[in-house]
Structure 1
Amino acid sequence: MLEALGLSQVNELVYRVMLANPTLDASQLAAHLGFDRSQVHEALDVLSDMALVRLDGPDGAVRAVRPQTGLGALLARVEADIAARQHQIEAVRATIANLASTHEQHEVAVRIEGIEAVRDRLAELASIATVECLSFTPGGAQPADTRQAEAPLNAAALERSVRIRNVYQDSFRKDPATLAHARQMAALGSESRTVPTVPMRMVIVDRTTALTPIDPAEPHLGALEIRSSGIVTGLLALFEQVWQQGAPLGDPPARPSGAPTAQEKALLLLFADGHTDESAARQLGLSPRSIQRLMNVLTERLQASSRFQAGVEAARRGWI
């Protein structure tokens, strides 16, 4: 039990017996415990060095020091050692971050090939983050392996008081596993919002480093790690703009009766721009069948006989 303070099981047992039986001398302790006298004397020497026993009175009897005093002092030293060690760890972390920054500062963008390499790099960045991690996550359900890889990294960053803000697509609310993951992270302090369409997949760490897909249509190919302050500043502005438009995780915000939801409005705008059902589905992270169902509901609500007429009526009402 007290090994964390440096006591062996034998030393702890001798100390406990001395506390319970303060009148026993060394010979009586040995008999009580079934130990050799040499074992008891060795234990008393260790306990004396640790200030857990002391000579008491002119007869030279050895007495156990009260736990509040003796063990309390040992615990304080252990806590001080742990605090010093933690300080050393933080200093090492800062040195690693500085070395990484110095090594990479001459590179504007680095190509990271393959999804596994991207995950490894995100893990590295998460481990040295000190201020904030921002992310755009388009689409609906997140793959299980992605959630499993993110969870411990996010939890560790949040424990270091790193702020985490995520923007998901509205359609992610329809996937129970992804929604549960987001709520679990929210319980730890992460902040999440949703919008009808997410501009791109992106992660920004400490407002200095951004990761974006090499090809947005094929995210498994890898990512570009961008450290150009000008580009990162622009991406930060994009994130903040989308963040302000997002609905916080939880119940959807109230809207006037009959007005379109944010998702419905985004769908109308996509069709106004000439998107097909398939391309609108990709933009909103939904299936083409869901797009058709949404549009049928809108057409009926607008009392239109066709999509074209629905678009005209939506514009007349100021929806788009």
Structure 2
Amino acid sequence: MLGAIGLDEVQESVYRALVALGAADVADLAARVGLGESDTERAVRRLEQQGLAAQSSARPGRWVAAPPGVALGALLTQQRHELEQAELAAAVLTEEYRAQATEPSAHDLVEVVTGASAVAQRFLQLQLGASHEVCALVTGRPTVVTGPDNDAEEQAAGRGVRYRVVAERDVLSLPNGMVEMAAALRRDEQVRIVDRVPTKLVVVDGQLAMVPLTSRTSEPAAVVVHASGLLASLTGLFESVWAQALPLRLGEDDLVTEAGPAAPDGTDLEILSLLLSGLTDASVAKQLDLGLRTVQRRVKGLMEMAGVTTRLQLGWHAYEREWVAR
């Protein structure tokens, strides 16, 4: 837990033991944490350098812990200052990069990555660098990268990054296909299934995309596409496949099942009709005796059901599917 301020596991264990004992010699500490005396002494010396421990003036050979509120507070303040400096440097570098990329040349819009390890590493970097959304098309033909990396996904999800994944139905037949899909659903990822996807594809934050390159050699390769008309086309490709795909559901006993074509219920239709007549969410909630959040949640569900991202698109879709034909 204290790794963020520069302590490794051994140093943290020794410091916690010293805090619990109040004062102790190296032998007592070593016995307490289950380490050799030489390792324990090195850890104590490191704690002394960081201001977390000091030698007792009353009894030579014994160590006392510095008050955590004071000592750890100082380290936290220092760490915050270093992070602020790093953020400032990142902001400056970002502005410099934008200034240079205002008029990028054609060859700067794509980056060719060659080799299995390089492709896998670049794919991992894209996910770890995501700030709000990762969209992926996954085929049932395993190569270097079969889908979003589980560890990277968990880290990204912990930061609030949303995942939307469309997988070919053959993915479910792979040895670990169902297990991986169930794990993705438990991470609250949105997963849909189609018979075939046109290509493997990953789009990150609408700013970068990665697609494989077909090669006559055995060496895998991929291209990373930066903001451009090509990126917009790839994003549009994902959205079109997403709109046609069927959602996966996680049922009892972690059973993954495909949902049939979704359709709104009676309350959904009433909400749609009132919204299309010009009422606000609050007015719809009052008319139907529903909570405002309930109305908003149902509208969001309708948008997901329709595979659209705006309410204007939802209105068009509702008439196209005759949800509100009457």
What TM-score, normalized to structure 2?
0.51
Correspondences of 1:87-236 after superposition (within 5 Å): 87=84, 105-106=104-105, 107-139=108-140, 142=142, 146=145, 150-215=149-214, 221-236=220-235
Could you tell me whether the CA contact under 8 Å between 1:168 and 1:198 is conserved in 2? Answer: yes
Aligned to 1:264: none
Give the whole-Å Cα distance in 2 for the aligned partners of 1:212 and 1:189: 25
**In structure 1, what is the Cα distance between the partners aligned to 2:109 and 2:259?**
40
Matched to 2:165, the amino acid is: N
Equivalent residues of 1:3, 1:9 under 8 A apart: no
Aligned residue for 1:252? 258
- CA distance in 1 between counterparts of 2:184 and 2:95 reads 29
* Separation of aligned partners in 2, 1:93 and 1:183: 37
After superposition, what is the alpha-carbon deviation per residue over 1:121-176, rounded to whole angstroms, capped at 9, x for unaligned? 22222232223222111225x46x74698222222222222222211101212224
Decide whether the 8 Å contact of 1:2 with 1:12 is kept in 2: no
Q: Cα–Cα, structure 1 residues 153 and 43, in superposed 2: closer, same or farther, change >3 Å?
A: same
| More helix as a share of residues | 1
SS of equivalent residue, structure 1 residue 249: strand
| Structure 1 residues 246 and 80, CA gap change in structure 2 (3 angstroms) | farther
Distance apart, 1:204 and its partner CA:
1.5
**Deviation of 1:218 (Å):** 8.0
How many residues are treated as equivalent by the alignment? 213
CA distance in 2, matches of 1:245, 1:93: 40
Distance 1:179 1:96 in 2: 43
- Counterparts of 1:219 and 1:202, CA distance in 2: 20
Q: Give ranges in structure 1 of 5+ residues lacking alignment.
A: 17-35, 53-70, 257-320
Query: Partner of 2:301 in structure 1?
Result: none
CA spacing shift, 1:4–1:234, aligned 2, 3 Å = same
User: Distance between the aligned counterparts of 1:159 and 1:176, measured in 2?
Assistant: 27
* Cα separation, 1, equivalents of 2:116 and 2:60: 63
Higher RCO (CA-CA < 8 Å; seq separation 6+): 1
3-state SS in 2 of match to 1:40: coil
* Structure 2, unaligned runs of 5 or more: 1-8, 25-54, 250-256, 263-326
Check whether the contact 1:115–1:219 (CA below 8 A) recurs between aligned residues.
no
Structure 1 letter corresponding to 2:221 = G
Gap change, CA 1:38 and 1:255, over 3 Å in 2: closer
For residues 213-239 of structure 1, the C-alpha deviation after alignment (integer angstroms, 9 at most, x for no partner) is 222898953112222421111211111
Looking at structure 2, the residues matched to 121 and 225 of structure 1 have their Cα atoms a distance apart, in angstroms, of 9
Q: Which residue of 2 aligns with 1:278?
A: none
Equivalent position amino acid for 1:40 in 2: R
- Does the Cα contact within 8 Å between 2:138 and 2:146 map onto a contact in 1? no
The C-alpha deviation readout for 1:61-89, integer Å capped at 9, x for no partner, is: xxxxxxxxxx4455555555555555555
1:222 & 1:136 partners in 2: Cα distance? Answer: 17
Counterpart residue number, 1:241? 240
Residue 21 of structure 2 is aligned to residue 13 of structure 1: yes
Q: CA RMSD in A?
A: 4.2
Contact 2:127 2:153 (C-alpha < 8 Å) held by counterparts = yes
Which residue is 1:268 aligned to? none
CA contact (8 A) 1:14 1:43 kept: no
Deviation at 1:93, TM superposition (A): 5.8
Match of 2:27 in 1: none
State TM-score, norm by structure 1: 0.52
Greater Rg by CA: 1
Identity, in percent, stands at 21
Letter in 1 for 2:59: V
